[in-house]
Structure 1
Amino acid sequence: MGCFPTLTLLFFGFSLCSCSKFPPRKYYYVDKKISWNDAQQYCREKYTDLATIESMDDISRLNSSFSYDWAWIGLQDDPESWKNTLGNDTNSWRWAITGETSKIDYHNWDSTQPDYYLAKETCVIMGLGGKWYDKNCGENKTFACYNGKKIFSFMDFTYSLVHFLSAAVTEQNKKNYMYISTTKNWTSAREHCIKLSMNLAVIENSEENAEVSSLKPNSDDIWIGLYRVPWTWSDKSQSSFKNWRSSSPNNPPGNQHCVVENNLHVWDDDICTIKYAFICHQVAKLRTTVKLKFVTDVDLSDSATNAQILQQLRAKLTSQGLTDFKLQWNIQPKKQENKENSET
């Protein structure tokens, strides 16, 4: 028969992914001019991180007046995630059909590409000689669709009269590509491919790249299925909130990969090594106690059992958006448990 042990679960500090809700972030203006990377390190040592701003409510909580015109916040478009590679960070290049980064790091960028010119180029074309270039997704281009339909190849073996004729069938996966001569922007091109039960071309080796290149007229730049979503927060928040000023981001020299906020609380991109003041945030820490009763024959005083339960609870809480928390059991003495049981 199951027993009814009571355990107290203690949460030591936790934060929600969307801190516009609860608990809110507290913001701190630091009147010290340093680079973006140094500001990130400072905030992580003294507070929680460089400021993540997820709403106008967050902006309203920064009450400090600025000593200088601009201050770093935690938004960055790290070129190591996308420059000359197919990385696996949030802002890396990914294929449209899966929305995921490539498991095969094949690419065929031109020597100067990608450059995120004027902070607008987040889709990819194939140009002259099969070279890849990042382009503004709103431009109209012809494009290549593909599917992964399976085909069969047959090998006939003819033997002598004492043997027989047989056929060996081998199944292979092969991408089938189709060139579309109609010009569309990247999004419309993808929608067109989907209507054909296909998707924008995925290219994962030099042979596939040569095949797609051979389908298009030499002068055509064609969309392929590679794109990315720029800008990520230092604390890995998934917020899509942005508060750019009207002309930003613009990346005129091609190396503005970090974000500053001015005293009007609008944002601009700038070179990460420039020294600015900065804004940190601190996530509120809470200590929460939750009492749990179990109907079980398992010995919950066993440390291995407790550890396993805590591991499962951590996974569940993390999947629900909770971060930066610690769990600890506080098991009540047997006398107290028995007394509670007799009262129920």
Structure 2
Amino acid sequence: MALRVARKLAGLVATLLATSFIIFGAAYAAPGDPVTFLAGGKENLTPEYLAAVRAQYHLDDPFSVQYGRWLWDALNGDLGRSFQYNDEVLDLLAARLPTTLGLVAYATVLFVVIGVALGVLAAVRGGRTDSTVVAGTTFATSVPPFVAATALISVFGVQLGWFPVAGGGSFTHLTLPAITLALGAVAIISRVTRQAMVEQRELDHVTVARASGLAERLIVVRHVFRGALGPVVTMCGLVSAGMLAGTVTVETVFGLSGIGSLLVGAINTHDFPVTQAVLLLMVVAYITVTTLVELAQPLIDPRARIERSRA
């Protein structure tokens, strides 16, 4: 077990290093000269002034040296200074991250509760209920987030006036954005839950439990649903980890001051330090959560532990 954890952590570190290199290189491969933005768009820039700006930000150094300096500073908590806001990037992230984390947590609760409930209902009832759940989740998956956001704003924000439609970070402000973010995830989790439970119902131990006269409700809870928890929990973790990237569209549409909208503004203004920091944060969060989910898989599903021990 300890060796497996060590291997996973080593793989995590290697993946993060490779990703950080790609992020740093992609930002500086973008069109435009960073010096132009660092100079504040001033006109009639002299070669001496441009040279001073390059020297100040070490832009004349080789790419490998710039990457090494940026990575070392990032590991020490220094993510640079925003070109646009002239503020520390770490402070910008600290101010905006709570809104994004609250949105992701709210959406996670919604898609886990609703998705698992729909999947269980479809697997247990079958027939028309199953078809209805599958059709409804298919429709939810096909609706783009900005279309769903527009519809929710129009109905529940403007016409009914139940929820505010922009800004803020309170529970009511996050409700419509969280629903928008959770729609596609509900479809994924409900289908995974349904499929996992259908497979569990065909196993021998479930057949034996049913033949012994155990109540169907207890069979579903003790054997079918419990056996299906492994893939369901794994998929919930993966979907939740990927939601940070999904907040870009949702936060922009609803005017939330999170890291998603911060990333959009940074890209539009060529604010390289902010762009790099936000992308790195999203990747680190995704890789960390997926690694933790994989490590926890044997604890959730004993069959995975047996398979790994055999391997």
> TM-score normalized by structure 1?
0.21
* Higher share in helix: 2
Q: Which structure exhibits the higher relative contact order, with contacts defined as CA atoms closer than 8 Å and separated by 6 or more residues? A: 1
* Higher share in strand: 1
> TM-score normalized by structure 2?
0.22
Asked which structure has the greater CA Rg, the reply is 1
